[in-house]
Structure 1
């Protein structure tokens, strides 16, 4: 049986060669996920993970609701992408996420349209499929895709710069997400709670659910986050 990591690595190499040949040029969009997955004979979660690798290398950019944009290979800097992940520990990444993502979730609850919420739900469906298939790598890829889709729904350019660094660091740490099915099920349930709050336009609840999710992530990873006291008078 061929492992999913072997499949993903093979797809990454095929897509890199196709990009190098100019099959898709800078500024063009890759074919839709369903079409491209069928062409390559792989599942959508495996394709999503391969695209995540290509994005880390600076060759493409995922644009939720639009597709995958091909970037100029002359501007790609793999070393810089790798450094972004290596410079931060998991605790550093989680602390930044705890500070930033609850606020983003609250903003998204105020502004997201039905199409954007639908994109978030699609990534949750991929997580569900990975859980049902007991595919931890696909689950990790779908988990990252969910949070990237959420990041993309803020138009603040400063946020975009910061969350791109967070995303790169998280991609470099995916081994920590390849754990038990129970953990993937918990991540799915927590992210579903965030989306339910967003669909209800409940900004405060969306923020609170995301905050609880990141704290739970720290517990699952054995990381005690350095969170300041938030009680009155403290």
Structure 2
């Protein structure tokens, strides 16, 4: 692990979208080769001084990067780029796109439509049972059901038993949820979400890729229409 250098080049950031700009500057340390996978980032105090931002802004950026798996923090040791981040450009691109909900939802459309069609051919009876249980859990949920909703999509993505798609869907859903925290939802309707999830489930149960694709497209378009971005 290399020692922290004092000659790192970083630009101070402007007030607009501060945390996003901090993310871009930290990612640039990696992309420019000033630091590499596994290296330790400067201390929070040093980063605050280099970027001219407050501790809350810096920590918001670091939490987002940690959610994506770009960095990890060790108690009493500091913050490090993850060992494999250099070989995972997908996570880096998501980090740079944080807050851009339009791009994220379009990426969900492009990825999940293919994944659900694949799932219609490969999904196991166990995963079908898990989907059915998930739908029942959402029906019974009181209050926030975000985690249940997210798990529904994860089950489908992972049912294809493809390590590449598995490596894509988790950071994508993580970033969607992270960005969603700051975007109001319009007319959130649990009953409609449950109905659409059930339509997707029925298409998967019938091993019908075209119906699964159509049902997922209908659902994600509905999700996009509820977002105010």
SS at match of 2:161: coil
Cα separation, partners in 2 of 1:110 and 1:152, compared to 1, 3 Å: same
The reply on whether 1:191 has 2:189 as its aligned counterpart is no
Correspondences of 1:146-161 after superposition (within 5 Å): 146-161=152-167
CA contact (8 A) 1:85 1:168 kept: no
Distance, in Å, in 2 between the alignment partners of 1:164 and 1:94 is 14
SS at match of 1:155: coil
Cα separation, partners in 2 of 1:113 and 1:193, compared to 1, 3 Å: same
Relative contact order, CA 8 A, sep 6+: which one is greater?
A: 1
Distance, in Å, in 2 between the alignment partners of 1:201 and 1:94 is 26
State the aligned residue count.
149
SS at match of 1:185: helix
Correspondences of 1:34-53 after superposition (within 5 Å): none
TM-score, normalization by structure 2: 0.55
Please give the per-residue CA displacement for 1:34-91, whole angstroms capped at 9, x wherever unaligned: xxxxxxxxxxxxxxxxxxxxx9487xxxxxxxxxxxxxx89xx798799856733211
- The unaligned stretches of length 5 or more in structure 2 are 1-65, 86-90
Aligned to 1:87: 97
Q: Which has the larger radius of gyration?
A: 2
Aligned to 1:39: none
State which drifts further: 97-106 or 162-171.
162-171
TM-score, normalization by structure 1: 0.54
Taking only aligned residues, the RMSD between alpha carbons, in angstroms, comes to: 3.3
- The unaligned stretches of length 5 or more in structure 1 are 1-54, 59-72, 224-234
Distance, in Å, in 2 between the alignment partners of 1:104 and 1:165 is 15
Correspondences of 1:1-234 after superposition (within 5 Å): 56=67, 84=94, 87-88=97-98, 89-130=100-141, 133=142, 135=143, 137=144, 139-175=145-181, 179=185, 182-222=188-228
